[in-house]
Every structure is written in structure tokens, then in C-alpha cells.
A and B are shown apart, each in its own frame.
Chain A
Amino acid sequence: MESLSVTEPVLLILLSLTERPRHGYAILQDVQEMSDSRVVLSTGTLYGALRRLLDGAWIERVEEEDAPRGRQSYRLTARGRRNLQLEVGRLKQLTRVAALRVARKET
């Protein structure tokens, strides 16, 4: 895993970009939808995370010819996709262990 820490907002942003490139506002809406409005990102939080992901080359900007002024889209890079897969694998393993432990405690 790269040095960038995957917090819940960062994970949701990455998941939002897995299907297709999205611009800032679309990411905000998708994150809110994915988390059932549990995670509502402010623009400050969103662009802090996007900046770190850009610096780590996990995402990249997409050049759009007819994009309105101030609207910029982002997409996952191969590195970002690989790291996301690693993180998802780690979470799967964690939930598996958690489920086992909880089940053991209940019996």
C-alpha cells in the first residue's frame, strides 16, 4: 500500500471514480448516495482528499473540451485502482475476522 492513508471519505471518493470519471459535485453526490447520507463531504474535505490523491498519482485529471469553466473531471489511475483493490481486500479480510469473532462471542 502507498503512503497515502485511506480514510472513509477517501475510500468513498475512490469508489465513486471506479465506474467512470466524475467532476467534483458529482463525486459529492455519489459519496452521499453510496453512504446513505451518512458521509456528507464538504468541498474543503473533498478537495483536500483530491489533492492528496493527485499527489500520490492515484487519480488524474481528465481533459474535457466542452467542460464549463471551473468544472474538472477526475478518474482513477492504474495505480489508484490497484491500491483500491488492495484496500478492499484488506477490508474483506477484516470483516471476515470480525464476523468470526462476533459469532464466537455470541455462541
Chain B
Amino acid sequence: MLTIYRLLLYLYPQAHHCEFSEEMLAVFGEARTEAWKKNMLVRGRFCAYEIKGLLTGAAREHIRTICAVDRPPVFFSRRIAMRSEFRFPKATVTLMSIILAGVVLAIEKATAIRVSVPDSSPHVGPIQPAHFTFLPTMLVIMGGACLAGAIGWAILFALHRSGLHRLADFDPASNQASGGRTHA
């Protein structure tokens, strides 16, 4: 079990793994010793709970690393602080089911009408495309996406070079107290 736990710790981002893995392993060892004194049910529940905790913890840490957010709301339960968040209304499922049933019924009815009137539409030959346009269109779209990406990157790079992002850390009070002097 310790070996599995040690391997699962590698799912965490590198920084978290370096900082906490040894400690987590030690704490897990102590908790496991305690759980192993009890019956099989407790042991099984303990293992399942630990594995679940590790997997969700690792996922949360990766999301935090990628998105630089402290709390992905999806993974947090047992909240005390109640905040207004969007919730998918349960009535939507019923409405969507009714709409789906309506669409299926309409298709069935249309099929029945088409079968009852076999020669209602005149025969039309195969449609030949005037030009093969798929590949050029895709190339244009990809070119446009690359161009938009390059422009976005250039803007971000220019902002970074200008030091504009440091304005968020600027504290006018401390700057005033130090006589407006800045230190490198």
C-alpha cells in the first residue's frame, strides 16, 4: 500500500511533490498503522478514501498550477461560505426531454408522409460541386487563427516588456512614504 501511495504521489505537480511528498508519506504511514488495527471494512474504506483524496488533490493542484486559481469550485464540497453560483436548473432536463420527444415525433410524421406520397418530389440528379473548396477554406481559417494568435502574443509580449503588469503590485502609500524612490 505504501508503494502504491508513493507512486500516486508522482501525480502531483513537481513543486508540490518536492515540498510535501515525504511528509505526506509519513502521515499516511501513521494513519495506515492505525487503520490496520481495525477490521477489513475500515481498511478498505481507508484505502479508497486515501486514493480518492490523492487523485482529487493532484487534479486540484494541477488546475491551480495551470489556471493560477486557488479554488476550482467543482472539486470543493462542504462549503460553509454560501455564494451565489450558477446552478443548472432541474426543470431544464424535463424541458429538454419534451423537446426531444417533439423532434422525434415530427421526424416520424414526416417519414410517414413521405412514404404515403412516393413521387411527390421530382427526380434531381447528383449535385456536382463547382469547385473543391474545403481545403482552401480550412487553410484560410488556420491562417487566420495563427495570425490572431501571433497578434495576441505580440500584445502580451509588449505589455510584459513595458512593465505594465507590475502596476498591480504598486502601492502608492508605501511609495509616498519612501519619498517616491524606487529600489531595484
Contact = CB atoms under 8 A, between A and B. Distances in A.
Contacts, number: 88
A69 B28 CA distance: 14
Contacts of B43: none
Interface residues of B, number: 31
Contact of A46 (B26, B27, B58, B60): B27
B80 A70 contact: no
A24 B23 contact: yes
Indicate the size class of the contact surface on chain A: 20 to 34
B50 A43 contact: yes
Given A8-B80, A25-B31, A47 B23 contact: yes
B81 A28 contact: no
Nearest to B71: A5
Contact of A3 (B57, B70, B77, B79): B70
Contact of B49 (A8, A40, A52, A55): A40
A94 to B, nearest CB: 9
Given A11-B80, A39-B78, A44-B56, A70 B70 contact: no
Given A70-B25, A72-B23, A44 B79 contact: no
Dominant secondary structure at the B interface: helix
B60 A48 contact: yes
A44 B81 contact: no
B58 A6 contact: no
Contacts of A46: 27
Contacts of A50: 20
Interface string B58-92: 10110000000011000011111100000000000
Interface string A1-40: 0011111110100000000000111001000000000011
Q: Which of B31, B52, B56, B79 has the most CB of A within 10 A?
A: B31
Given A24-B27, A70-B26, A45 B57 contact: yes
Contact of B28 (A3, A39, A43): A43
Given A11-B80, A42-B53, A72-B23, 12 more contacts: A5-B79, A8-B79, A8-B80, A25-B31, A28-B31, A43-B50, A44-B24, A45-B57, A51-B16, A68-B26, A70-B25, A70-B26
